[in-house]
Amino acid sequence: MRDREPTLFDRQPPFQLHSDTSRAAAESIVKDMGRLERAVYAAIRGQGRRGLTDAEGQVATGICVSTYVPRRVALVEQGLVRDSEQRRMTDTRRLAVVWVAIEENR
């Protein structure tokens, strides 16, 4: 019997099969994945229709880019976050996708 039922945030992270360091990184993040995805989701959802670019989300959560983006991608794959079709200028003067929680746009 399980201690608890798995939640939406209980998954195994992907890794590159040919890379021992990728596998090690994936194994090391498992215990933090749910917490990190919840933090990313809360930051995006908290902005409502305004949403967040990845750069804004990284600042809001304090999560580094190499961790933030995969967690946001996972939320897109789970149907919790989507491209708002808005774009905002980044600090590097490039347009970036603005991500929103799907429930905020229904």
Sketch out the chain's domains with CATH numbers: 20-105 (1.10.10.10)
Bridge partners of 83, per DSSP, are 99
Read off the pTM: 0.71
16-68 tens-digit pLDDT: 667 777 666 655 555 666 889 999 999 999 999 999 999 999 999 999 998 99
Nearest to 85 by CA among 44, 41, 51: 51
Residues 36 and 17: their CA atoms lie apart, in Å, by 23
| In contact, 52 and 58? CB cutoff 8 Å | no
66-86 tens-digit pLDDT: 899 999 999 999 899 999 999
If you compute the radius of gyration of the chain from its CA atoms, what whole number of angstroms results?
A: 15
Per-residue HEC secondary structure of 63-83 comes to: CCHHHHHHHHHHHHHCCCEEE
DSSP category for residue 2 = -
Residues 58 and 66: their CA atoms lie apart, in Å, by 10
Per DSSP, the three-state class of 33 is helix
Q: CA–CA distance from 20 to each of 6, 12, 70 (Å)?
A: 27, 16, 18
